[in-house]
Amino acid sequence: MAILEVKNISKSFDSLKVLKDISFNVDVGEVVAIIGPSGSGKSTLLRCINQLEKADGGEINVDGANMFRTENGKAVYAPSKTLRDIRLKIGLVFQNFNLFPHFSVTQNIIEAPVHVLKQSKAEAKSACNELLKKMGLETKGAAYPCELSGGQQQRVSIARALALKPKILFFDEPTSALDPELTGEILKVIKDLAKEKMTMVIVTHEMAFARDVANHVIFMDDGYIVEEGSPEEVFGNTRNERTKQFLQRFNDR
């Protein structure tokens, strides 16, 4: 069952067409990896799905609810109540974490459960402790983000997103801001989530990881999806010339 439907999305910044015609579905429990060269529009696509940018045209449905559709050539967004419901069903992990620096780790994680979902503090804290344990951060609840390593900060930000129990979790290059020796710990967390059948969409430059963890790989170039399929198809039996060149460059490293 498709929990996310993206149909014919287009998006321009002024005269620059960044997304030209993007369509794909994500099923429950699926892990989708989006790869592609810099500037191909991967972040913009995630930001449109996450309502951080407004798409110009197309249609997006999340968990059966319409987020926006195109009527008479204009994007028509759902009422703000629907948009808010949709927003709470999806989480986004940023490349540079975006933790709240003035909040401790625990405060970062319980902020939304307490102030948005109106859970009791006790309830939110016990859920938070569970998440911290899962992330291997059980001793860090009282620490502030500036006292943590990049890898630890990224794990906190994953915990913060998970605290809202999202149905889909998006990652935009979750390891790109990290020292190479720290990427492993994040990739492991994502792998563990995949084992629990968490639905995820991951933009990444870690080809080996994409191949390893994803059920479905999307290769984007210049605002289009130029190739997609199982990791075996995309990596093992590459058809598109652009994809071949792109992957070649990675293999050469």
Partner 1 sequence: MTFEEIKKVTQILIEFLPNTLKLFAWTLVLSIPVGVLVTMLKKCRFKPISWLTNLYILIMRGTPLMLQIIAIYYAVPLIIASAAKSGKTGGIYDLLTNLKNNENYMFIALVTAFVLNYAAYFAEIFRGGIEAIPKGQYEAASMLGMTKMQTFFRIILPQVTKRVIPATANEVIVLVKDTSLANVIAYAEITMKAKQQMNLYSSIAPLFIAGAFYFVLNAVVTVAFAVIEKKFDYYK
Structure tokens at 5: 């439907």
Least Å from the CB of residue 100 to partner 1: 6
- Determine, following the binding rule CB under 8 A, whether residue 177 of this chain makes contact with partner 1: no
Write out the H or E segment, with its range, that includes residue 23.
Answer: strand 16-27
State the residues that interact with ligand ATP by CB under 6 A.
Answer: 13, 16, 18, 36, 38-44
Binding mask 110-149 for partner 1 (x = CB under 8 A): -xx--xxx--------------------------xxx---
Query: Rounded to whole angstroms, how far apart are CA atoms 186 and 162?
Result: 14
The dihedral built from the CA positions of residue 10, 69, 31 and 196, taken in this order, carries a sign that is positive
Least Å from the CB of residue 222 to ligand ATP: 9
- Determine, following the binding rule CB under 8 A, whether residue 244 of this chain makes contact with partner 1: no
- Determine, following the binding rule CB under 5 A, whether residue 43 of this chain makes contact with Mg ion: yes
Pick from 11, 87, 216, 242: which binds partner 1 (CB under 8 A)?
Answer: 87
Query: Rounded to whole angstroms, how far apart are CA atoms 6 and 198?
Result: 19
17-to-172, 220, 241 alpha-carbon distances in Å:
20, 14, 22
222 touches which of ligand ATP, partner 1, Mg ion, none (CB within 5 to 8 A by kind)? none
Number of H helices, E strands in the chain: 9, 11
Nearer to partner 1 by Cβ, of 117 and 208: the residue is 117
Pick from 101, 122, 181, 195: which binds partner 1 (CB under 8 A)?
Answer: 101
13 touches which of Mg ion, partner 1, ligand ATP, none (CB within 5 to 8 A by kind)? ligand ATP
Least Å from the CB of residue 149 to partner 1: 14
| Distance, CA of 99 to chain centre | 16
74 touches which of partner 1, ligand ATP, Mg ion, none (CB within 5 to 8 A by kind)? none
H helix runs in the chain, sequence order: 42-49, 80-89, 105-115, 121-134, 150-162, 180-195, 207-213, 231, 241-252
Pick from 2, 28, 88, 177: which binds partner 1 (CB under 8 A)?
Answer: 88
50 touches which of ligand ATP, partner 1, Mg ion, none (CB within 5 to 8 A by kind)? partner 1
**Within 39-68, which residues bind partner 1 (CB under 8 A)?**
50-52
Query: Rounded to whole angstroms, how far apart are CA atoms 25 and 2?
Result: 6
250-to-29, 99, 172, 205, 243 alpha-carbon distances in Å:
28, 31, 19, 9, 11
Residues lying near partner 1 in the complex (CB under 8 A): 50-52, 84, 87-88, 91-92, 94, 96, 98-102, 111-112, 115-117, 144-146, 160-161, 164
Residues lying near Mg ion in the complex (CB under 5 A): 43
